[in-house]
Structure 1
Amino acid sequence: MSAIRLNNLDIAYGDTKVVHGVNLDIAEGESFALVGESGSGKSTILRAIAGLAPDWTGEIAVLARPRSHAIERAVARQVQMVFQDPYGSLHPRKTIDAVLSEPLEINSIGNRGDRVEAMLQAVGLDRRFRFRFPHQLSGGQRQRVAIARALMLEPKVLLLDEPTSALDVSVQAEILNLLKRLRREQGLTYLLVTHNLPVVSFLCDRLAVMRHGRIVEVADVALLKRGDLAEPYSRELLAATQGRASLTV
């Protein structure tokens, strides 16, 4: 079954169209990446899937269910998003317990204390972090909390918007290893936005290369690892990453 299917998706901000005719079919359990330069429309696609960019035409289906332009609670329980900035995505005046309990309260799910502690443990944080505030955590710890929050409703799909780009390289590796383990243990589907091709090589099965709001190539990650991408723009992106230090994972 498809986890995410996009058919002829156009997205605009006001009179400016930023995504043009995107078609994608991401299988359940797959880890898929959208790559390209800043401004190519990658994060906008994630926001449309999540219900945060309502000005779109075409079709969006999540787990075989077409979604509307509104924020739908049923979709939100199946699809959650992890944002780029762990400093900005957590409320500074709420404890970690409050942050993780909030989605449970909204959806009238009980046994909140046990669920919060179990999810902290799942992302590698012990119970002593439960009543701390975000400013008392490191960047990597905050991103673990953000991932835990996304998983509190036991979704099937995670939308990952540059989830490691704001972190130090050593911490990036820890978060990527965590994401890889969680996908395996919980049977998750990932749609990852990044410009970091080593991250794609480590975490993903396939990728789509975007330019100016359009997909120019879809390829298996095996082709990326071999440096055998077909489109000239894709090869330019790959060449731009060569010579940089590899991500240690």
Structure 2
Amino acid sequence: MSAISLSDLDISYGETQVTHGITLDVAEGESFALVGESGSGKSTVLRAIAGLAPDWTGKISVLGKARSHGVDRQVSRQCQMVFQDPYGSLHPRKTIDAILSEPLAIHGLGNRGPRVEAMLAAVGLDRRFRFRFPHQLSGGQRQRVAIARALMLEPKVMLLDEPTSALDVSVQAEILNLLKRLRREQGLTYLVVTHNLPVVAFLCDRLAVMRHGRVVEIASAEQLKTGKLVAPYSLELLAASGAQVVPT
């Protein structure tokens, strides 16, 4: 069974159509990337899956269940999103305890204290962070909290929107290693939006290259690492990255 299945997905904001006929399948346990230049529709696809971009046609299914337009609580239990900006995605006036407890309260789940402490430990933060506020944390620590919040409901699917792009390079490596470990330990499926091809090579199994709201190529990470992409635009992206793709 596919963890995420998109079929002929057209997404619009008002009268502006952003994506055109997006069709792809992400297998359970796979890490799959959407890459392309800014404005290609990558993040919009994530937002539609998460229920944050409700104006769409086509089909979206998560773990075999077709999702409705708008908020779908059943899908939310199984599919959570981590946003790009660790500074803007956490409420500045709530403690980390309150931020992590909120998903449990919304879904009527108990045993909140132990759950919060266990998830902090899972993302590499000790219990002394529990009653701090976001402004008392570094960018990397905030992104660990954002990842912990997404994992509080024990989802099987994670949507990652540029999860390291707002962080320093040294911190990026820590977060990528954390994501790789969590995927292995918890059997997670990732759909990752990034413009960073070395991130794809390190974290993902396959990728879809998007341009002007369309998928122009689906390839394996191995094809990316060896430069054996096919579409001319994919090769342009590879050349424009100006960096060694295989992480060291």
Q: For this structure pair, what is the TM-score category when the shorter chain's length is used for normalisation?
A: over 0.9
Q: Please say if residues 205 and 221 of structure 2, whose CA atoms lie closer than 8 Å, have aligned partners that are also in contact.
A: yes
| 1:8 matched residue in structure 2 | 8
Amino acid in structure 2 at the alignment position of 1:123: V
Identity percentage over the alignment?
80
- Separation of aligned partners in 2, 1:96 and 1:202: 29
| 2:105 matched residue in structure 1 | 105
Q: Runs of 4+ in structure 1 displaced over 4 angstroms?
A: 244-248
Offset, 1:242: 2.7
| 1:220 matched residue in structure 2 | 220
- Alpha-carbon RMSD: 1.1
Amino acid in structure 1 at the alignment position of 2:132: R
SS in 1 for 2:3: strand
- Separation of aligned partners in 1, 2:19 and 2:108: 36
Q: State the TM-score, normalizing by the size of structure 2.
A: 0.98
SS in 2 for 1:19: coil
Offset, 1:104: 0.6
The verdict on how the C-alpha distance between 1:165 and 1:247 changes in structure 2, with shifts beyond 3 A counting, is farther
Q: What 5-or-longer segments of structure 2 have no aligned partner?
A: none
State how 1:52-71 maps to structure 2 within 5 Å: 52-71=52-71
- Provide the aligned length of Structure 1 versus Structure 2: 248
Q: Please say if residues 34 and 191 of structure 1, whose CA atoms lie closer than 8 Å, have aligned partners that are also in contact.
A: yes
Q: What 5-or-longer segments of structure 1 have no aligned partner?
A: none
Q: Please say if residues 169 and 247 of structure 1, whose CA atoms lie closer than 8 Å, have aligned partners that are also in contact.
A: no
SS in 2 for 1:192: strand
SS in 1 for 2:74: helix
SS in 2 for 1:20: coil
Q: State the TM-score, normalizing by the size of structure 1.
A: 0.98
Offset, 1:243: 3.8
- Separation of aligned partners in 2, 1:215 and 1:75: 25
| 2:167 matched residue in structure 1 | 167
1:173-221 deviations in whole A, cap 9, x for unaligned? 0000000000000000000000000000000000000000000000010
The verdict on how the C-alpha distance between 1:201 and 1:245 changes in structure 2, with shifts beyond 3 A counting, is closer
- Separation of aligned partners in 2, 1:246 and 1:17: 35
- Separation of aligned partners in 1, 2:89 and 2:133: 13
Quick check: 169-178 or 234-243, which moved more?
234-243
Q: Please say if residues 173 and 247 of structure 1, whose CA atoms lie closer than 8 Å, have aligned partners that are also in contact.
A: no
